[in-house]
Structure 1
């Protein structure tokens, strides 16, 4: 599970005679992270030239190190013993330059001087003098501590590290950094926009009238090319006792001929001939004709299947075209809520204020033709048609719900429901009310749209449940998130 952790980089700055202390620093940092990373969301990463630098040219070595990682560190620990280090262009050593960079930037420097015993013959007198001179310069600034053993250093450093990162002002800083940052965006044709992009509304469906027509034309062609003779009458034969010819119903023929006439497609006289395809009429078909057993050649069975498929495709197209045309001239905005912060947020109230007359309430949307309303209610999901699908760039609205707060209601009619008395207009409108989960408030000068989002993770984008329909001359007056200070967001088309 992803966690919110703020990482601080700790620079380790010391001359070459400091070795054991570097290992101790790493151990102390690891101990600190184990204790406080999970409960407080703090993580410290040590940075040292031996593991944090890389080969680069174009400048002096120390300046390259400064650019690569020194200047980006949040705090530093500097340790001196007998050596001061190699001079740079500006300072007595690289360690001194790194310390001054950190202090000038107002960052914390933990400075220590080792008083561990050492063989006098191993001391470079010039280097040791520089260490003491440097120590004297910083003595009055109270910036350093001394230690006489590795264990003393371990205790000192852990105490100082904990005191610095666990003091109240630091915790307050962490809390202020670990917060959600909510922002409204929009999407159109797969591209994200920082403002409200107004685009043509397109039904969220894989159905397309042009593609459906192409499929129908291909079926007409396949059926026409499948030439079969007519069935011989077997009523007076022995076979006629058991079998009857399979014929295309008059309703199916009428549907196909009507469409063919409308599309000016010529149908040959043998278009509906199924050859010798037959059915045992002593068998009992199951409900809706399923389970019927046909006997005939593969070509005969295929032609029958294609004719039935053709009828279904025509009926679907004739029902779909009015729905497609009903919404083809509408404009909309597909809003998204983005959390660019470092922690999640929940129970979010969004408020959009539109200039009066520029917002199209879903109750004002045009109704499909009466014949297509039944198809829309029974064969289409309005939640899908008007919904905004999630992509690799953002999640859909349902992904932000808290499951216990939103029980899923079934759209299947209850047992005993009379379809003969069903009011499809009223059903369609009620379904739209369920799909468009916005609250609307109208005044003389504006219309306010409100939406509640249960939950959004950090670095996540969530879509609104549906587009918001608008007129051509739209002005968005105001946007409020979390009922806090509002963000002005004007857009005129």
Structure 2
């Protein structure tokens, strides 16, 4: 049966070396619609420049894409692997120009950087350096996530899309935190880690800390943690999240304390 629904457009932003990821993101959005659209009265529409823009003279190429595609979207998902893209004359690449616009306009942005294996001979070193510089800039304002496989990306996206849809429905803007705000939130994380029935611990693997674990009496908020993308680890007796989401999860736990 038909139903009334609000439509949100999601821009899929990326350079040219992540075609598999772009396809996966569209599939995840479709899966989200199958699971949630009728219950939430929301339909998500994936938007790509190659399918939603048309040839037009009178402006630079990225400017045309911005007007026809980017500025009409409610949310963006950016994904990167080895390349940043081609400079536009305004930004380091078309993708970064799009992402910067979403940040400046307080619209939700989800950024993912691949940790998949790379063949060194196929890497453009200048592009890779530019990408790492951009990733570092985004990490300072807490906007990045990482994935080790296409399936890992799918799993993370499905839950995180839900969080941003809820914010859109409530009209909550997504301003990027300043570096000073990030430092202040880190202090809050440390306090949460030392007190209360639920706490956070870093998870070290292979000599690196890329994840953290939420432990303690999580049973009352188990379903919410699962929706946020937490993965239960029986041996650690806690919920694992990537380190890049520590601020977000700490804020969630603070609200539930």
TM interval, short-chain normalised: 0.5 to 0.7
Secondary structure of the residue aligned to 1:71 is helix
* Residues 1:128 and 2:123 aligned together: no
Runs of 4+ in 1 over 6 A off after TM superposition: none
Secondary structure of the residue aligned to 1:84 is coil
Return the alpha-carbon distance in structure 1 between the equivalents of residues 96 and 135 of structure 2: 11
* TM-score (structure 1 length as normaliser): 0.34
Return the alpha-carbon distance in structure 2 between the equivalents of residues 105 and 135 of structure 1: 20
The structure with the largest alpha-carbon Rg is 1
Cα deviation per residue 1:33-70 (whole Å; 9 max; x = unaligned)? 11111121100001111111111111100000011011
Q: What does 1:137-148 correspond to in 2, within 5 Å?
A: 137-148=137-148
Return the alpha-carbon distance in structure 1 between the equivalents of residues 31 and 139 of structure 2: 30
1:172 to 1:133, Cα distance in 2 relative to 1, 3 A: closer
Return the alpha-carbon distance in structure 2 between the equivalents of residues 21 and 152 of structure 1: 11
Return the alpha-carbon distance in structure 2 between the equivalents of residues 145 and 60 of structure 1: 31
Q: CA RMSD in A?
A: 1.5
Secondary structure of the residue aligned to 2:72 is coil
Match of 1:43 in 2: 43
Return the alpha-carbon distance in structure 2 between the equivalents of residues 136 and 40 of structure 1: 36
Q: CA deviation at 1:170?
A: 4.5
Task: Give the unaligned 5+ runs of structure 1.
Answer: 175-493
* TM-score (structure 2 length as normaliser): 0.64
Q: CA deviation at 1:118?
A: 1.5
Q: What does 1:2-401 correspond to in 2, within 5 Å?
A: 2-166=2-166, 169-173=167-171
Q: What does 1:442-481 correspond to in 2, within 5 Å?
A: none
Bigger share in helix: 2
Return the alpha-carbon distance in structure 2 between the equivalents of residues 19 and 31 of structure 1: 19
Q: CA deviation at 1:163?
A: 2.1
Return the alpha-carbon distance in structure 2 between the equivalents of residues 140 and 171 of structure 1: 27
Return the alpha-carbon distance in structure 2 between the equivalents of residues 40 and 170 of structure 1: 12
Return the alpha-carbon distance in structure 2 between the equivalents of residues 173 and 60 of structure 1: 32
Q: CA deviation at 1:84?
A: 0.7
Secondary structure of the residue aligned to 2:109 is strand
Match of 1:382 in 2: none
Match of 2:224 in 1: none
Return the alpha-carbon distance in structure 2 between the equivalents of residues 49 and 172 of structure 1: 28
Q: CA deviation at 1:92?
A: 0.5
Return the alpha-carbon distance in structure 2 between the equivalents of residues 70 and 85 of structure 1: 17
Return the alpha-carbon distance in structure 2 between the equivalents of residues 127 and 170 of structure 1: 34
Secondary structure of the residue aligned to 2:45 is strand
Q: CA deviation at 1:3?
A: 2.5
